[in-house]
């Protein structure tokens, strides 16, 4: 599912931020970009995100805007004295060497001492900000999910309406098919069968009736209609159950599409062919929406 959320938090290094973006993906694909100062917490952040998000391409960025904390920084007198001794030694050997500037002295390693970072406090602040961002992200995704669920339910209702319409028409379509086949078989086969096998007219009619019945059984779509209704009901049940439903709904879309294809292959009337097309369109719309669900 798509979504964006962020959170700010204060650290001894300066103000830090957590941003999380998600887009559609069949699996969890996590890309984490984190400031070097917080790199030690990367495994913990990955674990925390994976515990909350199951599906989607996730881009998480954690940055720090450094602030100059002059008040908390002090000069190491011993290091500065050692630096002065070294400078004096150099100038005795090289009198023409210039004196060090204040900036050069402060830049010398060890001269400036910053207070040690409180790793536990930094970890707690980072995780609190991450949890806040994840909470906001889930709220955003929940709103989108509710909208998608409503769209899926409406399409399930449309599938049920098509199934009900076809069920009402099935007896009429079967009767029309049987009449049409019987007429054609009578025209094409009655005379050849009677003359070739010396069959009576009643026996020929019985053979034709058997062939029509067998073809009608092969062309029967009652089972496909039942499965379509069952799968639509299961889609509603999965949505109502909540949780990570994406993969389960992916499977149901495949099953719905299979039944629609079978219905189309058995179509013996214009109504059935049109219904199969309508069903495939609805199922494709549902499949696209399911890709947005976790």
Nearest to 289 by CA among 146, 166, 133: 146
Contact 113, 75 (CB under 8 A): yes
- Threshold 0.85, pTM exceeds: no
Q: How far apart are CA 12 and CA 72, in angstroms?
A: 10
Looking at per-residue confidence, does 269 or 232 come out higher? 232
Q: Which of 13-27, 46-60, 82-96, 162-176 has the lowest mean pLDDT?
A: 162-176
Q: Which of 105-114, 131-140, 228-237, 258-267 has the lowest mean pLDDT?
A: 105-114
Task: Tell me the per-residue pLDDT of 215-254, one tens digit each, with 9 for 90 and over.
Answer: 554 556 778 888 999 999 999 999 988 877 888 899 999 9
Position 127 pLDDT exceeds 70? yes
Q: Where are the alpha helices (DSSP H) in the chain?
A: 42-52, 77-93, 102-107, 119-197, 201-218, 222-241, 246-265, 270-290
Q: Which of 42-46, 100-104, 129-133, 197-201 has the lowest mean pLDDT?
A: 197-201
Position 140 pLDDT exceeds 50? yes
Task: Tell me the per-residue pLDDT of 30-49, one tens digit each, with 9 for 90 and over.
Answer: 999 998 878 888 999 999 99
Query: Residues 6 or more apart from 12 whose CB is under 8 A from it?
Result: 69, 115, 117, 118, 121, 122
Nearest to 13 by CA among 40, 48, 49, 44: 40
Specify whether the backbone of 133 is left (phi greater than 0), alpha (psi in -120 to 50) or beta.
Answer: alpha
């Amino acid at each position: 599912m798509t979504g964006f959320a962020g959170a700010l938090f204060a650290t001894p290094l300066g103000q830090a931020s957590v941003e999380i973006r998600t887009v559609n993906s069949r699996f969890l694909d996590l890309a984490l970009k984190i400031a070097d100062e917080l790199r030690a917490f990367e495994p913990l952040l990955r674990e925390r995100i994976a515990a909350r998000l199951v599906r989607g391409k996730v881009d998480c960025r954690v940055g720090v805007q450094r602030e100059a904390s002059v008040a908390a920084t002090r000069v190491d007198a011993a290091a500065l004295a050692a630096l002065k001794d070294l400078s004096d030694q150099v100038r005795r050997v090289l009198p023409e060497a210039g004196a060090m500037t204040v900036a050069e002295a402060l830049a010398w390693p060890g001269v400036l001492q910053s207070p040690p970072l409180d790793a536990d406090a930094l970890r707690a602040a980072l995780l609190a900000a991450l949890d806040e961002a994840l909470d906001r992200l889930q709220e955003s995704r929940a709103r989108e999910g509710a909208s998608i669920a409503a769209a899926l339910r409406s399409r399930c209702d449309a599938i049920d309406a098509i199934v009900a319409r076809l069920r009402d028409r099935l007896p009429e379509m079967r009767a029309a098919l049987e009449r049409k086949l019987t007429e054609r078989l009578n025209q094409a086969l009655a005379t050849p069968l009677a003359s070739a096998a010396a069959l009576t007219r009643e026996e020929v009619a019985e053979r034709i009736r058997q062939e029509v019945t067998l073809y009608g059984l092969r062309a029967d779509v009652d089972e496909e209609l039942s499965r379509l209704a069952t799968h639509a009901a299961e889609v509603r049940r999965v949505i109502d159950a909540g949780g990570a439903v994406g993969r389960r709904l992916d499977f149901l879309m495949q099953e719905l599409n299979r039944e629609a294809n079978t219905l189309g292959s058995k179509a013996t009337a214009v109504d059935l062919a049109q219904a199969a097309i309508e069903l495939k369109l609805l199922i494709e719309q549902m499949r696209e929406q399911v890709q947005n669900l976790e």
